């Protein structure tokens, strides 16, 4: 997800009014906004200053007209900062999300016949709300991937965020925020970070909630750090490298035999690297074909 947690919005300039929200015949909304994106990256974040009441009006209207359905636009909202962030990820981000989501779904579907695991479900990019760090308002987020336990669906048990243009410190801050602000109800966060634009490095981190002997949430533990490829674009040479998630990472710790091989989610670095190479090659080919078509259209128009 390409939001910017922990970054307070800049103070309003003199004379700048809060975002004005209006719906016309075309059902459009407008507000003061600023856009941010890494140079040369198709991902984009647009942040609006939007008062909470107008945000409620916006969400009600979007639900009524089913706007954004099927699109790549997603949004986060801070009731404390009254900031709406629209996230418009590029094709690489979306295809990596789909691939990892597919692997998670395949794993969960294989657990259907196992007692106490049938409650796990993929909720896509469903809404996730929790208190802000200052305790004065709610933060509403839409993770790239979220897995819920239908027995306690208030929060996901596991979320995944892919960052293509987002700053690493913001991604890591978001991972900690998910776990800390839900007191460990979000048990696990998986982050996949493209080290753009400094190089071709891609790496994955598994963040986990840690609990004390009394069962209460204690802290966030930064666990497995798995490099998929380095800054030069070379694959991690370790043949055993990859990510593994046990059932406890999905919040299942009682009445389940967690030792069975089919109850451990695994994705190897080989699989991730190969899929990433395919995705990037296809995106490059598509872009080249599109540019060539446009160039020929322009040439024809000039003739």
Two tokens, residue 226: 């798995």
- Give the pairing type, strands 188-194 and 202-211: antiparallel
pLDDT tens for residues 28-87? 333 444 544 444 445 556 777 878 788 777 777 666 654 554 445 667 777 777 777 776
What is the pLDDT, as a whole number, of residue 37? 46
- The pLDDT assigned to 70 comes to 44
What is residue 140's DSSP assignment? E
What backbone torsions phi and psi does residue 80 show, to the nearest 5 degrees?
-75, -50
pTM: 0.74
Alpha carbons within 13 angstroms on the beta-carbon side of residue 215 total 2
Domains, the chain, in order of start with CATH, read 91-272 (3.90.1570)
Nearest residue to 34 (alpha-carbon basis) of 46, 16, 43: 46
Tell which wins on pLDDT, 124 or 30. Answer: 124
Tell me the pLDDT tens digit for each residue of 224-260.
Answer: 789 999 999 999 999 999 999 999 999 887 655 555 5
Which of 262, 249, 275 is closest to 192 using CA atoms? 275
**What pLDDT, on the 0 to 100 scale, is given for residue 95?**
93
Structure tokens at 98: 């789909």
> Which tens digits make up the pLDDT trace of 219-230?
999 877 899 999
| pLDDT the model gives residue 84 | 74
> What span, in angstroms and rounded, lies between the C-alpha atoms of 73 and 64?
17
Q: SS3 for 195?
A: coil
Q: What mean pLDDT, rounded, does the chain reach?
A: 79
Q: Are strands 202-211 and 217-229 parallel, antiparallel or unpaired?
A: antiparallel
What per-residue confidence (pLDDT) applies to 10? Answer: 38
- Segment 161-189, tens digit of pLDDT: 998 878 888 899 999 999 999 999 999 99
């Amino acid at each position: 997800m390409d939001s910017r947690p922990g970054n307070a919005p800049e103070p309003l300039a003199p004379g700048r009014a809060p975002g004005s929200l209006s719906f016309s015949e075309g059902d459009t909304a407008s507000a003061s906004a600023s856009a941010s994106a890494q140079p040369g990256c198709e991902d984009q974040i647009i942040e609006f200053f939007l008062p909470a009441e107008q945000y409620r009006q916006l969400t009600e209207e979007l639900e009524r007209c089913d706007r954004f359905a099927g699109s790549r636009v997603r949004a986060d909202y801070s009731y404390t900062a009254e900031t709406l962030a629209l996230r418009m990820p590029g094709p690489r981000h979306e295809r990596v999300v789909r691939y990892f989501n597919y692997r998670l779904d395949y794993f969960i579907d294989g657990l259907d016949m196992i007692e106490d695991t049938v409650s796990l479900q993929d909720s896509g990019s469903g809404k996730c709300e929790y208190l802000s760090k200052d305790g004065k308002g709610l933060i509403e987020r839409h993770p790239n991937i979220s897995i819920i336990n239908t027995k306690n669906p208030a929060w996901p048990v596991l979320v995944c965020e892919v960052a293509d243009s987002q700053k690493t410190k913001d991604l890591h801050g978001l991972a900690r925020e998910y776990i800390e602000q839900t007191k460990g109800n979000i048990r696990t966060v998986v982050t996949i970070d493209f080290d753009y634009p400094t190089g071709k490095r891609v790496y994955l981190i598994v963040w986990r909630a840690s609990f004390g002997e009394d069962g209460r949430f204690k802290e966030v533990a930064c666990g497995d750090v798995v490099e998929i490829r380095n800054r030069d674009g070379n694959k991690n040479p370790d043949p055993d490298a990859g990510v593994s998630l046990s059932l406890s990472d999905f919040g299942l710790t009682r009445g389940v035999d967690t030792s069975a091989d089919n109850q451990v989610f695994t994705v190897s670095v080989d699989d991730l690297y190969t899929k990433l190479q395919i995705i990037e090659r296809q995106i490059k080919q598509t872009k080249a074909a599109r540019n060539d078509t446009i160039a020929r259209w322009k040439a024809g128009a000039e003739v």
